[in-house]
Every structure is written in C-alpha cells, then in structure tokens.
C-alpha cells in the first residue's frame, strides 16, 4: 500500500539529483534554479505536513455521540421522522455523522469533508489537511515545470551546439519522465481547483447522484454550499477551522439554506434529509 508513496519519493529525489548534478551546472539560469529549488523543498515540507496531519476526524464523544443516542431513543419510541431529522448515523463510530463527512475505511473513523484517500501522501485527505494537499500539488507542479523547462533548454542548446553525447540520454529519459509528471500535475491541479471553485469534495463529485443534500426535490443537482468562486475560495482556506470548531457546521448551513428557500417561497426546495439514516447509509453522508 506504500508503493505510490515510495514511487513519489524515488522519482522526486531522482529528478532532484539529476537536476543538481547534471542540469544546474550547464543551465546557468539563476531564476529557473531558484524557482525549482524553492518549490522543490517546499513541496517536500508541505507533503510531510499533509502526510502527518489529522484529516479532520469527527469526535466520537460529546455532541456527535449524544445526537447518536438521541436518534436511537427517538427511533425506539416510534418517532422515526424526528430521529431521521438528526441525520445519518455511523454505527461504527457511534455518532450522528455530519453532512459531507464519511467513514474512512483506512483510518476506521469518520472524517469531516472527506475528500479521498491519497496513496501519494499515505493519508486520508479531509477538512483539516485538504489545503496543505492542494498546496503540495501546486508546488509540485511548479517544480516540475521549472525542471521541464531546464531540461528542454539544455537539450536544445547543447545538442545543437556540440552534437549528441552519450550523457544526453539521461536528459532524454528525464525529459520523458517530466512530461508525464507535468501532464499528471496539470490534470490534478486543474481538477482540484475546479472542485474548490464549486465547493465540492472529490468524494461528492464522484457520487453526485448519491448524496441527497446535493439534489433538490426534483432530483436535480443543487449545491447549497456553493456561494460563488471567491466565497468558496475563502471557505476552502477556512474549512479545517470551521469544522474543528463545529463538526456540524455544514449540517447547520444546509438546514438554514433549506429553511431560507422554503420561507422565500421557492417552488423547488433543496433535497430532504430523509433516507435510510438510522441504518447508517452513506447516501446522506
């Protein structure tokens, strides 16, 4: 399960070594060198932070557990509708699971704003480390772009000036590796910045039709959490703090948005919360 993590370290360190030993001495471009080394080092720093940080585990004591017990008591007394209004239950963690959270099979606990399990950082990505994960990808893309420019520049100048040399085979291999890394980095950064702009998680985007809170009463996609690109970007930066201070931040935000639409006379309300909640369905997450 650590194959991707090992691959990342081996590939990144190999690129760094080739750049330092063979590329930097011939490139003689301080700006490119500076951009590469600063982003290269910061990439590893932020990678370590993402790898070692808490992704946003939902507490199993306090309010989450009290709501869980309350839901079971209401259901036992036959007040099913009131019990379902509390939200989805996680019987493994014994909590009422907040909206946008999901039980992580790797960490064996519920994670706020669960995004995905990333093998490259060997950790689950959630509310509290999603920001560092995105910054890690951004620095990685900058470092790859600088190395790609340096490698291409070296091959174009030295081969045209001195002809083909055996050592240039290393640079061709490096160029091929960097091209694949660049493509992957561009796709990943584009995808996640698109999610940030729309205020969605990877998990939500992959299961848009599963989660009732992302649909209106007609079954159409409706994201109550998206309030425009700028506001979504600010919330992305504050997501970890918001859910740490209040695990039910998004549950309460959704409830207030739903009430506002109903009070405003909107003909189509946001999706209801009632599903097979007492069974711990992921559909209501």
pLDDT per residue as tens digits for the range 25-82: 888 889 999 999 999 999 999 999 999 999 999 999 999 999 999 999 999 998 988 8
Phi, psi of 218 (to 5 degrees): -95, 5
| Residue 237, in any domain of the structure | yes
Does residue 66 lie within any of the structural domains?
no
Predicted pLDDT at 14: 93
Q: Is residue 277 a part of any domain in this protein?
A: no
Task: Tell me the C-alpha distance between 115 and 106, whole Å.
Answer: 13
- What is residue 37's three-state secondary structure? helix
- Distance between CA 285 and CA 282 in Å, rounded? 5
| Phi, psi at 78, each rounded to 5° | 90, 5
pLDDT of residue 155: 82
Model confidence at 211: pLDDT above 50: yes
Please check whether residue 270 lies inside any domain of the structure.
no
Angle between the N-to-C axes of helices 229-245 and 130-162, in degrees from 0 to 180, rounded to the nearest 10: 130
pLDDT of residue 170: 77
The count of C-alpha atoms lying within 13 angstroms of the C-alpha of 182, restricted to the half-sphere facing its C-beta, is: 15
> What is the model's pLDDT at position 164?
59
> CA-CA distance, 172 to 136, in Å (whole number)?
26
Domain of 207 in residue numbering reads as 2-58+98-260
Q: How far apart are CA 127 and CA 199, in angstroms?
A: 12
Tens of pLDDT, residue by residue over 168-204, are 677 888 899 999 999 999 999 999 999 999 999 999 9
104-153 tens-digit pLDDT: 999 999 999 999 999 999 999 999 999 999 999 999 999 999 999 998 88
Average pLDDT value over all residues in the chain = 89
The tens digit of pLDDT for each residue in 273-283 reads: 454 455 555 55
Cα dist. 147→139, 163, 173, 236 in Å? 12, 22, 13, 29
Q: Which residue has the higher pLDDT, 125 or 209?
A: 125
Q: What is the pLDDT of residue 275?
A: 46
Given a contact cutoff of 8 angstroms between Cβ atoms, the answer to whether 39 and 146 are in contact is yes
**Is residue 106 included in any domain, yes or no?**
yes
The per-residue DSSP string of 24-48 comes to: HHHH--HHHHHHHHHHHHHHHHHHH
> Pairing between strand 89-90 and 123-125?
unpaired
Rounded distance between C-alpha atoms, residue 101 and residue 233, angstroms: 20
Q: Is residue 265 part of a domain?
A: no
> What radius of gyration, in Å, describes the C-alpha atoms of the chain?
24
Is 83 part of any domain? no
What are the CA-CA distances from residue 207 to residues 176, 192, 232 (Å)?
A: 34, 16, 20
In-domain check, residue 161: yes
Tens digits of residue pLDDT in 72-117: 999 999 898 888 889 899 999 999 999 999 999 999 999 999 999 9
Residue 118 annotated among the catalytic residues of the structure: yes
Residue 180 CB contacts under 8 Å (≥ 6 apart), including other chains:
none
Query: Which residue is catalytic, options 90, 110, 113, 118?
Result: 118
* Rounded Cα gap, residues 35 and 138, in angstroms: 13
The pTM score is 0.89
The pLDDT assigned to 232 comes to: 97
| Domain tally, the chain | 1
């Amino acid at each position: 399960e650590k194959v991707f993590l090992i691959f990342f370290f081996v590939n990144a360190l190999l690129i760094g070594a080739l750049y330092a030993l063979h590329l930097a001495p011939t490139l003689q471009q301080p700006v490119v060198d500076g951009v590469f080394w600063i982003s290269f080092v910061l990439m590893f720093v932020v990678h370590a932070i993402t790898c070692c940080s808490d992704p946003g585990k939902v507490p199993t004591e306090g309010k989450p557990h009290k709501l869980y017990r309350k839901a079971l008591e209401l259901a036992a007394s036959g007040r099913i509708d009131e019990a379902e209004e509390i939200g989805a239950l996680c019987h493994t963690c014994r909590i009422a699971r907040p909206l946008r959270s999901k039980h992580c099979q790797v960490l064996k606990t519920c994670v706020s704003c669960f995004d995905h399990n990333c093998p490259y950082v060997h950790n689950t990505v959630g509310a509290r480390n999603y920001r560092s994960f995105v910054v890690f990808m951004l620095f990685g893309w900058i470092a790859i772009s600088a190395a790609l420019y340096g490698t291409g520049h070296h091959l174009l100048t030295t081969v045209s000036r001195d002809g083909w040399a055996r050592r240039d085979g290393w640079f061709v291999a490096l160029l091929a590796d960097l091209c694949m890394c660049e493509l992957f980095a561009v796709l990943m950064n584009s995808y996640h910045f698109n999610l940030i702009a729309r205020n969605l998680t990877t998990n939500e985007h992959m299961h848009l039709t599963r989660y009732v809170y992302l649909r209106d009463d007609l079954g159409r996609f409706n994201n109550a959490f998206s309030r425009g690109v700028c506001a979504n970007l600010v919330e992305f930066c504050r997501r970890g703090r918001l859910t740490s201070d209040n695990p039910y931040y998004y549950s309460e935000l959704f409830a207030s948005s739903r009430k506002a639409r109903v009070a405003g006379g909107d003909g189509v309300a946001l999706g209801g919360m009632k599903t097979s909640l007492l069974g711990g369905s992921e559909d209501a997450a």
